[in-house]
Amino acid sequence: MIGPLNHVGVAVPDIRKAIAFYRDVLGATDITEPQDLPPQGVTYAFVTLPSGQVELIEPYGENSPILKFLERNPKGGQHHVCFEVDDIHIAKTTMEARGMRVLNEPRIGAHGTLVVFLHPGDSGGVLIELMEAPDVEH
């Protein structure tokens, strides 16, 4: 059921500084313009490296879910990993059946498909995002 790793999420205090680092120091390519995603409380941008994408996320708004993370990690840090699934609804019920706390109802994520998050307390301290793979026929 769990498909390929889609991206590694990195929380940052300043997304444009972070983009400059990934571009100028690491040579990232295909860098997207920062986009606000108010319902998810983040501003995000994707940078591409040979092994895949890094998603840079900066808090958006006072209720951003990453504000406390950045209070704990003021310079930013590795925040989550995101795996693709064919059907987010099946994935959600399967994860719940396997004892995972799913933190939200499926909602649109940065790639424009439905996503859910698993509570890191159930997944070895790693925040896991599941996203419905783009271009999957339903």
Ligand X SMILES: CC[C@H](C(=O)O)C(=O)SCCNC(=O)CCNC(=O)[C@H](O)C(C)(C)COP(=O)(O)OP(=O)(O)OC[C@H]1O[C@@H](n2cnc3c(N)ncnc32)[C@H](O)[C@@H]1OP(=O)(O)O
104 within 8 A of 116, measured Cβ to Cβ = yes
Q: CB-side exposure of 134: number of CA atoms within 13 Å?
A: 6
Partner from Co ion, ligand X, none binding residue 70, C-beta < 5-8 Å depending on class: none
Count CB neighbours of 31 within 10 A: 15
* Phi, psi for residue 95 in degrees, rounded to 5: -65, -40
Number of residues that bind ligand X (CB under 6 A): 25
Among 10, 88, 100, 115, binds ligand X (CB under 6 A): 115
Residues 56-85 that bind ligand X (CB under 6 A): 57, 65-66, 68-69, 79-80, 82
Catalytic site residue 96? no
End-to-end CA distance of the chain: give it in Å, rounded. 15
Among 9, 34, 76, 106, binds Co ion (CB under 5 A): 9
Among 18, 19, 40, 128, binds ligand X (CB under 6 A): 40
- Planar angle of CA 40, 17, 109, nearest 5 degrees: 20
Residue nearest to Co ion (CB): 9
Residues 6-25 that bind ligand X (CB under 6 A): 9
